[in-house]
């Protein structure tokens, strides 16, 4: 269900503001996110907290921009893990991010 993965009011506002450019915004988000996930895996596997923080931060911002609040919240948790150099839970968080992103991706693809 859409409301499980998005702030619908914020998304409607975004769609209204972006008008004809909304599908392009979504496409760019999906392409960037598809590229970011493997980078997150690599950074977690390498134990590189700085890169984990940076990638999670940018993923969080992009997800917030398209109103994917639950995904942004997971990215924030991973960002804080990187900031605190505590990656013990990072593999689990990346798994949760992948699951949520999979749903977000499917729903966004249906919209455009």
Task: Give the per-residue pLDDT at 83.
Answer: 98
CA distances in angstroms from 20 to 7, 10, 15, 25, 40, listed in the order given: 20, 17, 8, 10, 31
**Could you report the per-residue pLDDT of 42-64, keeping only the tens digit for each?**
999 999 999 999 999 999 999 99
pTM of the model: 0.95
Structural domain of residue 92, as residue ranges?
Answer: 2-111
Least Cα distance to 95 among 41, 35, 57 occurs for 41
Give the number of domains in the chain. 1
Average the pLDDT over 36-47 and give the result.
Answer: 97
CATH code of the domain covering residue 49: 1.20.120.160
């Amino acid at each position: 269900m859409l409301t499980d993965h998005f702030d619908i009011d914020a998304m409607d506002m975004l769609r209204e503001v972006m008008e004809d450019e909304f599908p392009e915004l979504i496409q760019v988000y999906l392409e960037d996110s598809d590229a970011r996930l493997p980078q997150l895996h690599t950074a977690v596997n390498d134990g590189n907290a700085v890169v984990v923080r940076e990638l999670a931060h940018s993923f969080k911002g992009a997800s917030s921009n398209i109103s994917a609040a639950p995904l942004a919240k997971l990215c924030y948790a991973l960002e804080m893990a990187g900031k605190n150099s505590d990656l013990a839970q990072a593999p689990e968080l990346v798994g949760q991010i992948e699951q949520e992103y999979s749903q977000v991706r499917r729903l966004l693809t249906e919209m455009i």
